[in-house]
Amino acid sequence: MARPVDKNAVPAVTVPRLTMYLRKLRELQARGVERVSSKQLAGMIDLNAAQIRKDFSYFGEFGTRGVGYEVDRLVDEIKRCLGLERSWNVIIVGAGSLGTALARYRGFAEQGFKLTAMFDASHKKIGVSFGDGRCVRDVADLERFCEEEDVDIAIVAVPGHAAQSIIDRLVGLDPERRVRAILNFAPVKVFAPRDVVVRQVDFSSELMFLSFYLDRES
Please report whether residue 46 would count as binding its own copies according to CB under 8 A.
yes
**Residue 13 C-alpha from the chain's centroid:** 15
Phi, psi of 79, rounded to the nearest 5 degrees: -60, -45
Residue 215 as a binder of its own copies (CB under 8 A): the answer is: yes
Quick note: the x/- pattern for its own copies over 80-99, rule CB under 8 A, is -xxxx-x-x-x-----xxx-
Measured from the CB of residue 43, what is the shortest distance to its own copies in angstroms? Answer: 10
Regarding 113 and contact with its own copies (CB under 8 A), the answer is: yes
Q: Residue from 25, 71, 74, 102 that binds its own copies (CB under 8 A)?
A: 102
- Contact status: 209 vs its own copies (CB under 8 A): yes
User: Closer to its own copies at the Cβ: 1 or 206?
Assistant: 206
Could you tell me if 126 and 137 are in contact, meaning their C-beta atoms sit under 8 angstroms apart?
yes
Residues in Cβ contact with 92 at an 8 Å cutoff, skipping those fewer than 6 apart = 99, 102, 103, 115, 117, 118, 119, 154, 155, 157
Strand order in the sheet with 113-120: 137-138, 113-120, 88-93, 153-156, 181-184, 197-200
Q: Which residues bind its own copies (CB under 8 A)?
A: 7-8, 11-13, 15-16, 18-20, 22-23, 46-48, 51, 81-84, 86, 88, 90, 96-98, 100-102, 104-108, 110-113, 152-153, 160, 180-183, 187, 195, 197, 199, 201-217
